[in-house]
Amino acid sequence: MHIGNSGDLPLQKTAHQRKVLLGGVFGVCLLLDFFFVVWLVNRTPEAHEAPEAEMVLRAQLEMPFQVLIPAFLPRSFMREKLQINTENVGPQGQPMIELVYPTRRGETLTFYEWLPTDQETQQSATPGRCSCRSQTAVPSIDTEAQDDPLRVVGKVSSPDLMTSEEARFVLDTLGPATNRQIFTSVKEVPLAYSLPPPVEVPVNEAGIQEVTLVVTPDGYSPEHFAVKVDVPVVLTFRQLGQVGCGNELIFQWQKNETAVLYLAFSTDTQTLEFTPGETGEFPFNCPHYIYRGVMTVQE
């Protein structure tokens, strides 16, 4: 006959309970980690007002042009650490601004912006259209337009800092700092400003919604308009004043339905006829996202 310690059984139960408790805690932690990873991967990234906008606007007071900043930058760049230099001059001695975006590793992306002289404009390789070029050794971004000859050249301190796709996307999202440019590190770049209430487009006696979209140096008019779904629309596009790359309109009226309207001369007009087949908000813009607006399709 075995006579054991009367405390053995409770001690064994306590050890077992501890193992069960620790296992449960470990399992809960794993489950929470799993859901956190799923949330992190699938969450919609938030966009914010660019922290450098106010600083850029103060520096812009010294410039004879609107300073452009990117809506998209890869995550490695620190916008809040932007360095601005207005002391250097452009190729022909004209005012120039330098925007230097650093990374945490000390690498930099620098934008040089200036208004070229008439001679520089005449030497444009693609007059009248916005163009993008990149160098192989040190990627660079160069944009120009005949009517709005602001030149923007971007250079990185290391050729491996950005891919050519990222560099081109950075260029495509440049916009005026006056818009309080909303920024993101994800390539789905939202509108960079709050929209006014939509202008309601009426249906005429012929059952057609007619709207004239005018681009001016101040933007689109109307910047935001609303049409009814399944009702034909006739959109007339024209420009007033010097609008640079605003003479090219990229217009979408439903998923996978996009048209490009181009005004070769300031007196030109282009007409687009379409019937919106789905409700929602559909952005329209120029190639460089300097000019942007939205069409709302409603029931």
Kindly list the domain boundaries of the chain, sorted by start residue: 48-183, 199-298
For residues 249 and 214, the answer to whether their CB atoms sit within 8 Å is no
Is the model more confident about 257 or about 26? 257
Q: Which helix (H) or strand (E) holds 53?
A: helix 53-60
Q: Which of 2-16, 52-66, 76-90, 176-190 has the lowest mean pLDDT?
A: 2-16
**What is the per-residue pLDDT for 181?**
56
Mean pLDDT of the chain: 76
**What is the per-residue pLDDT for 185?**
60
Q: Is the pLDDT score of 147 beyond 60?
A: no
- Highest mean pLDDT (candidates 39-48, 239-248, 276-285): 276-285
**What is the per-residue pLDDT for 41?**
39
Q: Which residues contact 226 (CB under 8 A, 6 or more apart)?
A: 198, 199, 200, 201, 295, 296, 297, 298
For residues 242 and 146, the answer to whether their CB atoms sit within 8 Å is no
For residues 54 and 82, the answer to whether their CB atoms sit within 8 Å is no
Using DSSP's 3-state secondary structure scheme, residue 12 falls into helix
Q: How far from the centroid of its chain's Cα atoms is residue 84's Cα? A: 21
Q: Is the pLDDT score of 165 beyond 60?
A: yes
- Extract the tokens encoding 86: 């207005």
Q: Is the pLDDT score of 139 beyond 50?
A: no
Q: Which of 24-38, 265-279, 280-294 has the lowest mean pLDDT?
A: 24-38
**What is the per-residue pLDDT for 243?**
83
Model confidence at 176, pLDDT cuts 50, 70, 90, reads confident
Mean pLDDT of all residues in 257-281: 93
Mean pLDDT of all residues in 216-230: 90
Is the model more confident about 131 or about 112? 112
Query: What's the pTM value of the predicted model, to 2 decimals?
Result: 0.48
Question: 48-183 falls under which CATH superfamily?
Answer: MucB/RseB, C-terminal domain (3.30.200.100)
The percent of residues in the chain predicted with pLDDT above 70, rounded, is 66
Q: Which helix (H) or strand (E) holds 97?
A: strand 96-102
CATH number for the 199-298 domain, one of 2.70.240.10, 2.60.40.420, 3.40.50.800, 3.30.950.10?
2.60.40.420
Q: Which of 260, 290, 288, 292 shows the shortest CA–CA distance to 191?
A: 292
Mean pLDDT of all residues in 50-68: 88
Q: Is the pLDDT score of 217 beyond 60?
A: yes
- Residues 53, 82: Cα–Cα separation, whole Å: 10
